[in-house]
Structures are given as C-alpha cells and as structure tokens.
Amino acid sequence: VFQDVPQAPPDAIFNLTKQYKEDTYDKKINVGVGAFRTDDLKPYVLPVVKKAEAILFNDANLDHEYQPIAGEESYTRAAVKLILGEDSPAIVEKRYAGVQTISGTGANHTGALFLSLFYKKSKKCFISNPTWANHRNIFSLVGFDVEEYPYWNPETRGLDYVGLLQSMREAPEGSIYVLHACAHNPTGVDPTQDEWKGIAEVMREKNHFPFFDCAYQGFASGDLNKDAWAVRYFVEQGFELFVCQSFAKNFGLYGERAGNLTIVTKSETNAQGVLSQFEKLQRSEISNPPAFGSRIVKTVLNNQELYNEWTKNLQYMSGRIIEMRKALRDKLTELNTPGTWNHITDQIGMFSFTGLKKSQVQVLKEKYHIYMTENGRISMAGVSTKNVDYLAEAIDYVVRN
C-alpha cells in the first residue's frame, strides 16, 4: 500500500540541528534554531520555572487527570490577559475566548483549521515574505490559497511598508492576513506604531481578517506590554481577530508545548459559539491539551511575585541577545568587513537577518562549521562572548571571498 509514497524532504531547521550535533569540530556554532542559550551555550531553565515546578511537585493534590478540552480556564484566562491586557475592551465586554493549544504551532493550526471551516469571506491567506516556514505549511494543509505579501526590503534592510499596504489594498476583500505581533521571524524588523495604524486602516477598509502570531512576547522590547501593543491596538479599533501565543521562547518551555489561541469576537454570544466549535475540533485532534507546561505557565501568570520574577528572567534573556548583537556588530566593524552592519543592532527579537547569501551560508557551514538557515538568518541566542569573534571572522571571510 505504501509503494507510491514519495520521500518528503527533511525539515530545514531540525535537519540543521541534527547536522550540528553530528559535527565533531570543537569550534562549531549552531545559530540555526531559535532556542535561547546561556553564554556557555547551554539550554536555560528559567529560575522562575524551577520555582513553579517546585510548587507543583509539592502539591499533594496534584494528579494526572485529563484537562478540560479547551484547557483549564485559569490558564487560558491568564494567557488572554497577558496578550490583550487586563483592561482590554474584549475582556471587559466578555467577547473573547481562549483555547489551550500545542504551543504556538498548535495555535496556528487550530486557528487555521477553524477558519477553513467557518470563515466564509475568502479562501485567500496572505503570509509575509519572508516568514516562519511553517505558516505556509499550516495554512495550505487546511486548504487555503496561500500568497505572500511584501515585507522585507533588501535595499533598506527594513520593512517594505509601501509594498505591504499595496498588497493589502489589492488583495480580495476579506482576505486573511497572518501578522507577526512582534519580533518578526526571520527579519527582526517590526512595523512602527504609526505603521501599524496604517496597516489597521487598510485592513478595515478591505475587511481583512487579522491573524496574529505572537511567539516572542517579551523578546522584542523586553517589555511584555509593549510587545503586545499592535494586538491591543487592533482590539481597541474594534477588530475581530485571532492571536496565537507560544510559551516556548518566553518561558523556555520548548518541549512542553504550552500555547494558547486567543479569540476576540463582536459579542459574548459569538465568543461562546466559536469556543464550542473549537472544542469540537480540539476533541477530534488532541482530545485535551497536555498539562505540565500549562501548569507551570499558569502558576507564574497567576502569582504577582512569580510574575515579577519572570519579567526579570525575560530581561536577562533579551538583554543577553542585545549584548551579542552589539558584540557581533563591533567585531565586524573592527575587522572592516565590507558592507554595513548596523542592521544587526537595529533588528530586534531573537534573530538577525544578516543579508548573507545562500552560497555564503554554505561556505560558513562547510569551512567553518557554522550552521544557519539558508536565508542568512542568525539566531542571536546561539552567539556567546566565546564564539562571537570566530563567527565574525568567518562572516568576514565569506563576505570578502
């Protein structure tokens, strides 16, 4: 029965990590995967997560029963509050719902699946060029006709704001637009607040549906509220929307798969109807979401003291990334590496979109054992005080040769 199943290519990012692990060279560097590392390049378990774990392990009443289909309300409510803000009109007017998902990927998938069944205005979905590779996979899998909107301008190494707005104006009425809420992956370039206002205006004129993906809240500015600004602005403007939340990066809970889909509707009744259909979908897909990661997240989000500590842990992570941006730029400047490198410190979030070409990326891997995605994206979390000189010297070599 399976003789006609063709071999699918391996996933680019996970394959890169595999190659890195197999590489025995002592100076090898993995700047592929977007996972935070300490300056010793070790995985980082947030101290606040350790505290929450201790609380959970000491809880005599903790059991391993099934969670509700959409997750515990004490978790989803806290997640919704985190992204929309406590005073959000959507929360005050009870026109929201939250569904616990399999991390950010699950939120994207469940949200896309729901829209494929219940969103009748359009079958077109627009994703940014470039974007997280999974956006296309996820939306095409559930039957959307996926197209790209201009985002990155290679000349300015910034946002192609004019191209973006033009795409929105020309797109069929009611199209779905996948927007990175903050810390755009892979470019590290976000619209300014004024640009977001312009985007919202055109989206309203054209009745487009905002599908926010928020995988890096706390990583763009180091401030959880600032990083939620765009989403909150759209809610204030009266949009109905979805927001995918991942706690992989900001809680360091990559493998625990704790995520949430926040849904904002026009009315409380609409929110209840939508939630009931999400529960039906979720039941057939995963029955109910995993407990461990979400328990850690809700323990922190629902305790002011732990929440404050979490913000400090987040500042340590975003602070280290900012230091490494500066160190890499300074070293390239010191080496007089041809080109301009200010974009490394101008860009925000976990990634730097270096502008390196595919052929240069290839040489970095083969000659220097430095692993990054083909589009020249560097995960700044893989850079440390110990490897930054080697990385800069390697970049200097490929740029000159």
Residues near ligand PMP (CB under 6 A): 34, 103-105, 132, 180, 185, 213, 215, 246, 248, 254, 259
CB of 87 to ligand PMP, least distance (A): 27
CB of 400 to ligand PMP, least distance (A): 32
Closer of 180 and 295 to ligand PMP (Cβ): 180
The one catalytic residue in 81, 124, 152, 213 is 213
Closer of 101 and 360 to ligand PMP (Cβ): 101
| Beta-carbon-side half-sphere exposure of residue 80 (alpha carbons within 13 Å) | 27
Q: Which of 235, 254, 253 is nearest to 298 (CA)?
A: 253
In Å, how far are 33, 192, 200 from 195, measured between CA atoms?
29, 5, 9
Specify burial of residue 400 (Cβ count, 10 A radius: 0-12, 13-18, 19+).
exposed
CB of 290 to ligand PMP, least distance (A): 13
Work out the angle at residue 160's Cα, subtended by the Cα atoms of residues 155 and 161, and round it to the nearest 5 degrees. 145
CB of 255 to ligand PMP, least distance (A): 9
Q: SS3 breakdown of the chain: % helix, strand, coil, rounded to 5?
A: 50, 15, 40
Work out the angle at residue 103's Cα, subtended by the Cα atoms of residues 105 and 324, and round it to the nearest 5 degrees. 90
Instruction: Tell me how far apart the alpha carbons of residues 191 and 160 are, in angstroms, rounded to a whole number.
Output: 9
**Residue 79 DSSP one-character state:** H
Instruction: Tell me how far apart the alpha carbons of residues 129 and 144 are, in angstroms, rounded to a whole number.
Output: 17
Closer of 253 and 388 to ligand PMP (Cβ): 253
- Residue 229 designated active-site: no
CB of 259 to ligand PMP, least distance (A): 5
Closer of 184 and 343 to ligand PMP (Cβ): 184
The one catalytic residue in 132, 229, 310, 341 is 132
The one catalytic residue in 28, 249, 331, 365 is 249
- Residue 358 designated active-site: no
CB-based contact 71:102 (threshold 8 Å): no
- Residue 206 designated active-site: no
Closer of 85 and 186 to ligand PMP (Cβ): 186
Would you please indicate which residues are annotated as catalytic (active-site) residues? Answer: 132, 213, 249
